[in-house]
Amino acid sequence: GVDKTGRRDLYTEKNILISGTHTHSTACGTGGTVLVDLTTLGFVKQNWEACVNGIVQSIMRAHNNLQLGRIKINIGQVDNCNINRSPASYLNNIDREQYKYNTDHEMTVLRFESIDGKNEIGMMNFFPVHAVSLNSSNLLVAGDNKGYASYLFEKSKNPQGTLPGQGKFVAAFGQSNEGDVSPNLNGPKCIDTGLPCEFYTSTCDGRNEKCIGSGPGNTTYESNEIIGKIQFEAAKVLYDNAQLYINGIANFRHIYINMQTINVSSHYTSTGRNETTCQAALGYAFAAGATDGHGDFDFKQSTNSTNPFWQYLSSFIATPTPEQIQCQAPKPILLDVGQTKPIEWVPFILPLQIFQIGQLIIVAVPGEFTTMSGRRLKSTIKQAFQDARSFRGLAPHHEHRTVSPGLYDEATSVITSPNFLPIGTPNKQK
């Protein structure tokens, strides 16, 4: 995509951060890896080209509109806009008492304006909530609650009659640590009885297919509008009252890391011992999905034991070695995606990025940070940059969840061992 801009001399994968809203209603088949594109029966070139061309067009529009400007930042709290969809796992975090909520309520707003302050240029917003207000029954491409919030903000700033996406003022609502965060405020209920689901396994009568989370509206579209509007209204207040200017140098760092071959110092691990990452694997609880979208075949969250039937079927993909089983423990391996031949199912070499504009630190990680893992990374960044205003965004590549060790047993979408979060911590410090 960068090559298509014709400005390879200015823009590379090192100094451009492409971060997603993580809408679950986007065009599929664009991941370029087996695991991600499996549900669409493979790579869909038409969808991929549409995404690339849109990104290129955005970069070129920004390039052609370069001007001197200034940035203001404001940070506030937004309540009643998200819930934790893995509350039982969150209780495993030993530092949970330090925080009032089991989700992050912090919203960061950047206000972009001309150097003289007379013209408003745009707004960037970062707040953690999954873009899954529209559930799997929706078959249309949509930006979900993040896209609706952007639509409302741009509509309020551009001239009346401006078509969506065509105005000069640009409003972007991005993600932060939303890995375990849901917009479905009513929480998970059993669809046959209306009673709450079993707390630890998110099941109803032992089955996960009946446990579904729902939003605050009467329909998914109404829920989407409600959650989007809450974000829009909160962002508008923070935007209008932004006073703190971003001042200082602009800098960036970008590295690629083989996530399967990293030694992790005892200083960063939960065991207090030197540890290592593992060959990639997905656990049984991964197949259970979440209350925003359940899996099939009656897999359950929090599963920490194997099943002979599924072991047999998964062995046709690859058979985990004793060393891999020990390394991934206590997670039972369902899919050994780290040893698939001849085609890799998941990427192992992934990017880490960090950008600095004055006191603003933007961290981009190749995975969805959960509430607590995001808080811990933010704390690390503040230790390295004392006056930093930081947030965590999604990097150009997605490697499932990044969780604190306390969530590892249930959230078996972490593919390269319980030490994935400790990997990012020292590397971000560097």
Does 80 score more than 60 pLDDT?
yes
Cβ atoms of 20 and 137 within 8 Å: the answer is no
313 in any annotated domain = no
Instruction: Provide the domain count of the chain.
Output: 1
For residues 372-397, average pLDDT: 76
Question: Where residue 184 falls among pLDDT bands split at 50, 70, 90?
Answer: very high
Does 426 score more than 60 pLDDT?
no
- Taking the C-alpha atoms of residue 5 and residue 53, their distance in angstroms, rounded to an integer, is 9
92 in any annotated domain = yes
335 in any annotated domain = no
The residue from 150, 176, 182, 373 that is catalytic is 182
What's residue 411's pLDDT? 47
298 in any annotated domain = no
- Comparing 28-32, 147-151, 267-271, 340-344, which segment has the lowest mean pLDDT? 267-271
What's residue 400's pLDDT? 55
Catalytic, 182? Answer yes
To the question of pTM greater than 0.85 for the whole model, the response is: yes
Bridge partners, residue 354, by sequence: 253, 363
239 in any annotated domain = yes
425 in any annotated domain = yes
What's residue 337's pLDDT? 85
318 in any annotated domain = no
State the residue range of the domain holding 246: 3-254+347-429
Structural element, H or E, at residue 362: strand 360-365
40 in any annotated domain = yes
Residue position matching structure tokens 């099943």: 307
Cβ atoms of 112 and 123 within 8 Å: the answer is yes
